[in-house]
Every structure is written in structure tokens, then in C-alpha cells.
């Protein structure tokens, strides 16, 4: 059975049902949705977290420190399990306490939630570093002009920190796309899990895992091109050698 | 991956003892103590003594995996980093493609590719079945070690590339002017200086490697994560084993950070 022709059966990758190509692309779409959603949630949490860590009161700072320390010290896989079970459990108890009965939480929402919480801690640290790189004089000048903290944020801090934050944030985006694979362990049918199912039922393990790898690599490479454009746009006018 | 991102994803520093005690922290610590007391008192921990032996064994396997794959991966990373700085272009391209592919795909997928893919391919060749390696290739752990080593080599190779490129050329020229052979220059000057530059990132990468080890449980290697999964299956307890697992990883990370801080303090630096 091990002759070269039968080792690669390309028709297994066909888009229509006897082939599994459509299923893989469906999984890819799920992965991309979770990555985008989780990354966006992470950015929101991260912006808040960085602000809290830099300008919050002592209690806020400490609580955020505990959050980022825990997420940075415990494996994503363990966090995803804890958040996945605890999150759905808490939601169910809340809704039954409110008298709505058990709610059906979509896997997509749960996945976005867990990836978002993990990404939130990472982007807190990245954004905190970037905000600290903004010269203090610029923020003092804005304050001297009488701008409110929100205006300072919108007009000075955010635009000035972006060039410093983009390398870190783009790395985090790539991490988010790869972390979606971990959701396979809790049984969410994203790209890695559907690949394993396809491989398991056809026994063409190498073919399917390589195909999925190519899809992930494609996300990374396309992202790298886009990141290059964004970086060039936001770094214009900055000295070249800063990196 | 740049240093700040690694630091953002892996715990690399611990709180210092001075400036730790502040008035509001006493209140916070009291709340935390109440929380810990509630967790210990109201949750179920009666399974811990029964499984303690297996948990210790699992921690041992996790640490073993971490050290073996980090050391092997680092040994691979040095040539990968070096050929990207000073190598003939085919090797340079090869190293670059290797790093891009490994860093562009999830570790879980690589692990399954090796275990299920290669694992299903090997038995078809009688030469492999008859070789002395076959008893090992039938087990799961060689695939786990291979996947983790490759991943560490790719990430660390990128770090070493930057570290090799960052050694001031004047130091290498001075070494050459002393008449050292290229290998002596590498052994005495280039490699030690590069490792010195890479050490802070190496700390973060090692913590990230620790955070990647539980993935091997998905290919039936019995590490501490797999033991905890077993506990959850056998006792139907959802949260307590996971909380203990998080605590174990927290302690392991802290140990790693302390260890690296000791190493870094041993290396003399020029301070003002």
C-alpha cells in the first residue's frame, strides 16, 4: 500500500463533500472569527488595563498586577479550560438565578471570551510599555493646555504610543491566531480539530495536517504583509534605527 | 518575536521585598486570605492524598520535558541563529524558512502532525520496524520531545540571530587581531557575548516553553496536566484539580524566574 502514488490522494482535499476541503475552510473561518474577536476584546481589556496600571489607584494597580501575573505564569491551555468551564457555569447560574433557565452559550462566544481574556493580559503589558515610551513632557504639555484626561488620551497618548506598540501588538495578533488551535482541546471545531477529524476518518494524517499547516502559514504571511503596511504608515516621520 | 512581547507573555520578574508592604495591601491580603480559606474549606480536596504520588510524577515529567527540550532546542538554535548572520545563502534561506514555518503554525498542529502523521507513516517501512529505534518510536514521548524541541529552536534561533548580529564588530575584529582562529573567536568572544545578550529573552522563552508543555498531554504523554485531567475524569470534580494545576504552574514559573535571576546576577556586567 506504500507506493508513492497512493500516499497522496489529492481528491481528499476537494471542496465538495466526498473531499474535506470545504470542512477545512469552514474550520479556518471559525478560527479567523475567534482570532479577530478575541484580539479585539483583548485590545479593549488591554487598553483599560494599561490605563489602570499606569494611572489607576493603588488597589486597581494591584488587582491588574495579579491578573497579568496569573495569565503570564499559567499555560494558556489551563486558563482556557478554567475560563471555559467557569465562564459557562457562572453564566448558567446567573441566568437560572434570574429565572431565565439555562442559557445555551455558543462555542464561538465562549472561544472569543477565553482568547480575549488571555490576550487582554498580554496587550496590557505591551500597551503599558508603549505608553511609558511616550515622552512625559508631551503629556504634561497637554495637561497644561487644560485638556481632560480623555482628550489627552485621544489626542496625544494613543497616537504617540502607536508606533511603539505596533510591533508588540502585531506579534500578539499572530499569537491569537495560533492560540485558537488550543480551543480544539475543549472540543470547539476550529481548524485544528476539524483537521484531526478529517485525518482520523480518512487515515490521510500527513496530508491533512500539512494542509492545515499551510492554511495557518497563509494567515501568518498575509498578516505579515498587512502589518508591514500598517507599520510603515504609523512609523512615518520616525527615525529608522529605533528598532 | 521581540523582547517586549516575550516579557508581555511570560512572567520574567517577581515583586521585590522592599516596597511590598503598603497600607492598602494589608486589606487586600486579608481579602485574599479569606478567599484562600473559602477555597480550602468549602471545596473538595479529599482526592489530593490519593493522587499525590501521581501528581509528583507528573511534575517530574513536565520538568524533564522542559529541561530536555530547552537544552536540545538551544543547541539547535545556536547554529540556526549563526547561519542567518554569517552563512552561505542556501543555509541562510533554509534557516529562515524553518523559523517562518515553525513560528507561523500552532504548536498543537505540529505536535499532531508528528505524532499522528509520522507515527502512521513509520510502520509502513519494514526497515524502521526492524531498527533498534522502533520500541521508542511506538511511544508518544519522542514525538512530544521532538515537537517541543523544534518549536523552541525556531523561536530561540530568531533570538540568537539578533544576539549574534548585535555583538559589536570591534570586539570580533580585536579577537581576530590577536590571531585567534575563527572557531576560537566564536568560542571565546562571539558565543558568550551573544548568550549574555540573549539571556533576558531566554528567561521569557523558557517560561513560554513551560507554558507549552501541557500540550503533550493531547498525545497521551502523562505530564502533570494529564494527571489532573485523569483526576477530573475519575472524580467528576470540575474546578479543584484545575485550580491546583494553575497553582503548580505558578510555582514552577516562579522557580524558573528565581533560577534565571541567579544566573543573571552571576554574570559580571559593566555598571556605572
What ipTM was estimated for this complex? 0.85
pLDDT score recorded for residue A2: 46
- When CB atoms are compared, the residue of A81, A209, A219 closest to B113 is A209
Distances (CA, A) of B108 to A25, A70, A118, A152, B217: 18, 22, 17, 43, 11
Confidence check: pLDDT of B60 > 90: yes
Which residue of chain B is at minimal alpha-carbon distance from A218? B104
Contacts of B10 in chain A (CB under 8 A): 72-73
Q: What CATH topology corresponds to B51-266?
A: MetI-like fold (1.10.3720)
Collapsed DSSP state (helix, strand, coil) of residue B181: coil
Note the pTM of the prediction, 2 decimals: 0.87
Query: Which runs of consecutive H residues, i.e. helices, occur in chain A?
Result: 4-7, 21-55, 58-73, 76-97, 107-132, 136-144, 149-152, 158-179, 191-202, 205-234
Q: Does A73 contact B7 at a Cβ distance shorter than 8 Å? A: no
Q: Does B5 contact A168 at a Cβ distance shorter than 8 Å? A: yes
pLDDT score recorded for residue B2: 53
Select the residue from A78, A165, A221 to test the B interface by mutation, using most B Cβ atoms within 10 A: A78
Contacts of B4 in chain A (CB under 8 A): 125-126, 129, 167-168
Q: Does B120 contact A203 at a Cβ distance shorter than 8 Å? A: yes
Collapsed DSSP state (helix, strand, coil) of residue A130: helix
Q: Does A206 contact B207 at a Cβ distance shorter than 8 Å? A: no
B186 and B110 in contact (C-beta within 8 Å)? Answer: no
- Long-range CB pairs of B49-57 (<8 Å, 24+ gap) are B51/B227, B51/B231, B54/B227, B54/B230, B55/B224, B55/B227, B55/B228, B55/B244, B55/B248, B57/B222, B57/B227
Distance in angstroms (rounded) separating the CA atoms of residues A13 and A187: 23
Contacts of A221 in chain B (CB under 8 A): 100, 104
Which residue's C-alpha cell is 459557562? Answer: A88
Distance in angstroms (rounded) separating the CA atoms of residues B222 and B59: 10
Q: pLDDT tens, B185-217?
A: 999 999 998 988 888 888 888 999 999 999 999
C-alpha cell recorded at residue A116: 480575549
Residue among B224, B237, B242 at smallest CA distance from B46: B237
Distance in angstroms (rounded) separating the CA atoms of residues A128 and A115: 20
Which burial class, exposed, middle or buried, applies to A62 when counting CB atoms under 10 A from its CB (0-12, 13-18, 19+)?
Answer: middle
C-alpha cell recorded at residue B248: 503548580
Contacts of B250 in chain A (CB under 8 A): 70, 73-74
Contacts of B256 in chain A (CB under 8 A): none
C-alpha cell recorded at residue B2: 521581540
Confidence check: pLDDT of A5 > 60: no
Tell me how crowded residue A218 is: count the other CB atoms within 10 A of its CB.
12
Distance in angstroms (rounded) separating the CA atoms of residues B98 and B48: 43
Taken in order A68, A69, A75, A80, the sign of the CA dihedral is negative
* Contacting residues for B270 by C-beta, under 8 A, at least 6 apart: none
Helix axes A158-179, A21-55, angle to 10 degrees: 140
Distance in angstroms (rounded) separating the CA atoms of residues B25 and A117: 25
pLDDT score recorded for residue A242: 46
Confidence check: pLDDT of B17 > 70: no
Given 1.10.1660.10, 1.10.3720.10, 3.40.50.2300, 3.30.960.10, which CATH number is that of A4-242?
Answer: 1.10.3720.10
* Contacting residues for A173 by C-beta, under 8 A, at least 6 apart: A35, A39, A223, A227
Q: What are the backbone dihedrals phi and psi of residue B223, each rounded to the nearest 5 degrees, phi first? A: -100, -170
Average pLDDT of span B103-109: 91
Distance in angstroms (rounded) separating the CA atoms of residues B104 and A215: 10
Ranges of each domain in chain A:
4-242
Q: What is the pLDDT confidence band of residue A1, given thresholds at 50, 70 and 90?
A: very low
* Contacting residues for A228 by C-beta, under 8 A, at least 6 apart: none
Q: pLDDT tens, B19-57?
A: 667 777 788 888 888 888 888 887 778 888 888 888 999
Select the residue from A12, A73, A89, A190 to test the B interface by mutation, using most B Cβ atoms within 10 A: A73
pLDDT score recorded for residue B19: 66
B195 and B78 in contact (C-beta within 8 Å)? Answer: no
Contacts of B242 in chain A (CB under 8 A): 78, 81-82, 85
pLDDT score recorded for residue B233: 87
Q: Does B211 contact A125 at a Cβ distance shorter than 8 Å? A: no
Select the residue from B2, B7, B23, B108 to test the A interface by mutation, using most A Cβ atoms within 10 A: B108
Contacts of B124 in chain A (CB under 8 A): 1-2
Confidence check: pLDDT of A237 > 80: no
| Greatest mean pLDDT range, A125-134, A197-206, B64-73 | B64-73
Distance in angstroms (rounded) separating the CA atoms of residues B114 and B215: 13
Average pLDDT of span A19-35: 86
CA distance, residue A210 to nearest chain B CA (Å) = 7
Average pLDDT of span B239-262: 89
Amino acid at each position: 500500500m506504500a507506493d508513492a502514488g497512493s500516499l497522496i490522494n489529492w481528491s481528499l482535499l476537494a471542496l465538495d463533500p466526498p473531499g474535506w476541503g470545504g470542512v477545512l475552510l469552514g474550520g479556518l473561518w471559525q478560527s479567523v472569527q475567534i482570532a479577530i474577536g478575541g484580539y479585539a476584546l483583548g485590545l479593549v481589556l488591554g487598553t483599560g488595563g494599561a490605563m489602570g496600571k499606569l494611572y489607576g489607584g493603588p488597589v486597581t494597580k494591584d488587582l491588574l498586577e495579579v491578573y497579568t501575573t496569573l495569565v503570564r505564569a499559567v499555560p494558556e491551555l489551563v486558563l482556557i479550560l478554567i475560563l471555559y468551564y467557569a465562564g459557562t457555569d457562572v453564566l448558567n447560574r446567573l441566568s437560572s438565578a434570574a429565572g431565565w433557565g439555562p442559557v445555551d452559550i455558543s462555542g464561538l462566544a465562549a472561544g472569543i471570551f477565553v482568547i480575549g481574556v488571555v490576550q487582554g493580559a498580554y496587550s496590557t503589558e505591551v500597551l503599558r510599555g508603549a505608553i511609558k515610551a511616550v515622552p512625559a513632557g508631551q503629556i504634561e504639555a497637554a495637561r497644561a493646555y487644560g485638556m481632560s484626561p480623555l482628550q489627552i488620551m485621544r489626542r496625544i497618548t494613543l497616537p504617540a504610543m502607536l508606533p511603539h506598540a505596533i510591533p508588540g501588538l502585531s506579534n500578539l495578533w499572530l499569537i491569537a491566531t495560533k492560540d485558537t488551535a488550543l480551543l480544539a482541546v475543549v472540543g470547539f471545531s476550529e481548524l485544528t480539530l476539524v483537521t484531526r477529524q478529517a485525518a482520523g476518518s480518512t487515515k490521510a494524517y500527513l496530508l491533512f495536517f500539512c494542509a492545515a499547516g499551510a492554511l495557518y502559514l497563509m494567515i501568518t504571511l498575509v498578516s505579515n504583509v498587512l502589518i508591514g503596511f500598517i507599520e510603515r504608515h504609523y512609523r512615518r516621520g520616525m527615525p529608522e534605527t529605533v528598532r | 518575536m521581540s523582547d517586549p512581547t516575550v516579557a508581555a507573555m511570560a512572567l520574567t520578574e517577581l515583586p521585590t521585598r522592599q516596597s511590598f508592604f503598603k497600607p492598602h495591601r494589608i486589606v487586600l491580603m486579608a481579602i485574599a486570605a479569606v478567599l484562600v480559606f473559602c477555597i480550602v474549606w468549602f471545596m473538595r480536596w479529599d482526592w489530593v492524598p490519593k493522587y499525590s504520588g501521581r501528581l509528583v510524577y507528573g511534575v517530574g515529567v513536565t520538568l524533564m520535558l522542559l529541561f530536555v527540550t530547552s537544552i536540545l532546542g538551544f543547541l539547535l538554535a545556536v547554529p540556526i541563529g549563526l547561519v542567518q548572520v554569517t552563512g552561505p545563502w542556501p543555509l541562510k534561506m533554509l534557516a529562515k524558512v524553518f523559523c517562518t514555518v515553525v513560528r507561523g503554525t500552532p504548536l498543537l498542529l505540529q505536535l499532531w502532525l508528528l505524532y499522528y502523521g509520522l507515527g502512521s507513516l513509520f510502520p509502513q517501512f519494514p526497515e524502521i520496524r526492524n531498527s533498534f529505534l522502533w520500541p521508542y518510536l511506538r511511544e508518544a514521548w519522542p514525538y512530544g520531545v521532538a515537537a517541543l524541541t523544534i518549536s523552541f529552536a525556531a523561536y530561540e534561533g530568531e533570538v540568537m540571530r539578533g544576539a549574534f548580529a548585535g555583538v559589536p564588530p570591534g570586539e570580533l575584529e580585536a579577537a581576530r587581531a590577536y590571531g585567534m582562529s575563527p572557531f576560537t573567536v566564536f568560542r571565546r568572544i562571539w558565543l558568550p557575548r551573544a548568550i549574555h545578550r540573549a539571556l533576558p529573552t531566554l528567561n521569557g522563552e523558557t517560561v513560554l516553553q513551560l507554558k507549552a508543555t501541557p500540550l503533550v498531554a493531547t498525545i497521551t504523554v502523562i505530564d502533570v496536566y494529564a494527571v489532573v485531567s485523569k483526576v477530573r475524569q475519575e472524580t467528576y470534580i470540575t474546578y479543584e484539580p484545575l485550580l491546583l494545576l494553575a497553582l503548580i504552574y505558578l510555582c514552577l514559573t516562579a522557580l524558573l524566574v528565581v533560577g534565571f535571576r541567579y544566573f543573571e546576577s552571576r554574570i559580571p556586567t559593566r555598571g556605572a
